[in-house]
Amino acid sequence: MPPPGGPGSLLAKSTAKPLDTFHVVAHVPDMEDQQLDQTLIAAVFSQAALRGWSDVNIAEAARDAGLPLDRVRARFPGRGAVLLRFGVMADQAALTAGSSEPSPRERLFDMVMSRFDALQQHRAGILQLLRAMRTDPATSLLLYGATLRSMKWLLDGASIPSSGIVGGLRVHGLLALWLYALRAWESDESPDLSATMAAVDRGLDRAIQAENMLPGRSPAEEAAAVFTDAGLMDDEPSVEASSPEPMPPKPETPPPETPQSGTPPL
């Protein structure tokens, strides 16, 4: 009998790996997580552009990109994880893009447009995703929650309060702005995304008008000074300025001699 582990033993047969067992690819050695994520996301959206989002296969995309399947499996258990990671990376780029602007409105504009720049890099695949979401409620629900969190981060990054009841209304308002501009982006074929920029600008103007109607607003609110300095809303009128001018007294008229019953009060 051959010794354990020797040629022909069961142990040797169990540990042998024929070369044709696996699909051999040229892996990128020691790739950082950030680079791996970017490469995998690009491969997934490229695949979606060719075959549609519902037919995306992460393992195939990873092999096509030369990525190690074990690391891809650990970081991306499903297509939803790809979308969530892509959203976080888009937020990171957006928060950096708006950090140098002087006013919250300008910061918010730059951050929203930065997210559209991230979508534009994978335009064909993103458009396939948007089409698939019309009949995919699970993905739609997943992205609704993720995008809501992204809008909160953008508001915080623009130094616009997003907590409390009023802050929650701002978050949902920015989400509505994003969806409004997203519809413009879908049909925007211009190289500079001019139609998308115009939609974001109009949406911010409407948000400014809505801001003045939020409940609980008062000149003493901490956020009021931020928005006023940024030009996001008109200055809060003072009590004296907002009080109507006193009306001149009406001339006294004698009561009618024979009042009629049933006349409605004026």
Answering whether pTM is above 0.75, one says no
Contact predicate 214/192, CB 8 Å:
no
Phi/psi at 117 (5° precision): -60, -40
Residue 240: band (very low, low, confident or very high) from pLDDT cuts 50, 70, 90: very low
pLDDT bucket at 256, cuts 50 / 70 / 90: very low
pLDDT for 17 beyond 60: no
Identify the pLDDT of residue 249.
Answer: 52
Q: Residue 39: pLDDT above 80?
A: yes
Contact by Cβ (8 Å): 162, 177: no
Rg (CA), the chain: 30
Task: Give the model confidence (pLDDT) of 110-166 as tens digits.
Answer: 999 999 999 999 999 999 999 999 999 999 999 999 999 999 999 999 999 999 999
Residue 181 corresponds to which tokens in the numbers above? 């501009």
Q: What pLDDT band is residue 209 in, cutting at 50, 70 and 90?
A: confident
